Amino acid sequence: MTTMALLEILHYPDPRLHKVAKPVDTVDDSIRVLVQNMAETMYDAPGVGLAATQVNVHKRVVVIDVSEEKNDLRVLINPEILDKSEEQKIYEEGCLSVPDVYDDVERPATVRVRALDLSGESYEFDAEGLLAVCVQHEIDHLNGKVFVQHLSMLKQTRLKAKLRKAEREALKA
């Protein structure tokens, strides 16, 4: 088994976060290593979900673990939402690519998802609560969308200015 590695997480407004990820043709060892590295990076961050786009790999791969114990890793390769509820819920979301920023986002309350597992086998599941939010948030990343794009233009403009200022100050330090 290869050793795992922490991957660099891209930070908004990095334009690479807006690239649309390509489907995975074959689930092979390179994808399994990517998943291992993504999982280690997510747990280290710490976060509950990570899309390959966020680590500058533009393949449709997501890792999620919404368990308290951090022992229920879900791997979604080529995930797609098959169905979503008409009922909407508002959750406060954050993102590893947008550190220290949290805001309310409205999304479908439940979703039905299809994805491939590490063996390349297709499976489906229903998600609600935090898992539903997380799945939708990570699939947004694969489609080149960051959660702040769900916010008002005013909030997006303020956020970009705040992040650019923080980046400039970090460079001076």
Catalytic residue check, 93: no
150 assigned binding-site residue: no
CB 111 within 8 A of CB 95: no
Options 40, 87, 121, 138, the catalytic residue: 138
- 133 vs 137: CA distance, rounded Å: 6
Q: What is the CA radius of gyration of the chain?
A: 16
Q: How far is CA 149 from CA 11, 18, 35, 145, in A?
A: 14, 11, 26, 7
Does 18 carry a binding-site annotation?
no
* Binding site residue list for Fe cation: 95, 137, 141
* Binding site residue list: 95, 137, 141
* Residues annotated catalytic, as ranges: 138
